Amino acid sequence: MSATGPIPSVAANGAEIPLLGLGTWELRGRNCARIVEQALRLGYRAIDTAEMYDNEREVGEGVRASGVKRGDVFLTTKIWPSHFAPRELERAARDCLVRLRLSEVDLLLLHWPNPQVPLAETIGALCKVKRDGLTRHIGVSNFTLALIEEALAAASEPLVCDQVECHPFLDQSRLIAGCRRHGLAVVAYSPLARGDIRNDPVLARVAAAHGKTAAQICLRFLVQREIVVIPRTGKLERLSENAAIFDFALSEAEMRDIAALASRDGRLIDWAYAGRMKWD
């Protein structure tokens, strides 16, 4: 239990994904294990990692040290694009489990698109990994709507989410609508816009009205739209702050004011490996 009760979930093509999770990008070593352990003790029930983060061993240690039952933790990891050839993908998925010291993960994602490997082959391998019991669910990350639809056409197993950059300053409305049309959850990484939210007057005004921080308003704005958030922090006090977003609600007017901050130019993360993608 968190201070405000159990964290609600969103349903997506057979998966139940907690609306709040812990992102672990850039967390390393003992601090990573400690943050994961404390997050779960505070009531978090979702942890996000990736083979590229080089911290799966520590994430697994934190999960075990927390004392929370494995079945109560929704654990996500991601396969790096250099491992998208079918045999490489299966080997990479098994290596993730070895590092995590788990028999399966709850969600396995393709981390970024890789135009060098036919998507149908990669999706076929991802579906096979699910059928082989290495993961309960599968999905994608940093996929455009066009790529999602190509992936869905090739998939023999349900895809449950697209994990993407999502925060009040980036207009993701077209992608969000497309995901919902196909029953996919949207999982927001960098939901706090890498700290850019601190000096925004709209978020400051709404925060003052609710006795909350700008970060809490930002996270509440997303979860109130049933978008999963996975803020990353290396500070224990921020874990509690980020979790205290389910004891209040934003008004329709406040939601509109925050939504008006969005821009097509608000993207912070655009990786060259993805090729010349046309973002939604």
Q: What is the pLDDT of residues 27-37, one digit of tens each?
A: 999 999 999 99
Question: Is 217 inside any structural domain?
Answer: no
Average pLDDT in the chain: 94
Question: Is 278 inside any structural domain?
Answer: no
Residue 207 carries which DSSP code?
H
Average pLDDT of span 193-222: 94
Yes or no: say if 141 and 133 are a contact pair by the CB < 8 Å rule. no
Question: Is 207 inside any structural domain?
Answer: no
**Predicted pLDDT of residue 277:** 66
Question: Is 83 inside any structural domain?
Answer: yes
Question: Is 3 inside any structural domain?
Answer: no
- To the query of whether residue 53 is one of the catalytic residues in this protein, the response is yes
**Predicted pLDDT of residue 58:** 98
The contacts of residue 194 (CB under 8 Å, 6+ apart) are: 268
| Helices 119-131 and 145-154, packing angle to 10 deg | 60
Tell me which residue of 7, 94, 55 sits closest to 232, measured CA to CA: 55
Question: Is 237 inside any structural domain?
Answer: no
Question: Is 98 inside any structural domain?
Answer: yes
Which token pair is 44?
């978090």
Which of 44, 53, 189, 273 is flagged as catalytic? 53
Q: What is the CATH number of the domain that holds 16?
A: 3.20.20.100
Average pLDDT of span 256-262: 97
**Predicted pLDDT of residue 272:** 54
**Predicted pLDDT of residue 17:** 98
Strand partners for 263: 170
Average pLDDT of span 245-263: 97
Question: Is 254 inside any structural domain?
Answer: no
Average pLDDT of span 163-189: 97
**Predicted pLDDT of residue 195:** 76
Average pLDDT of span 214-219: 97
Average pLDDT of span 172-187: 98
Domain count for the chain, please give it: 1
Q: Which domain holds residue 162?
A: 9-194+226-232
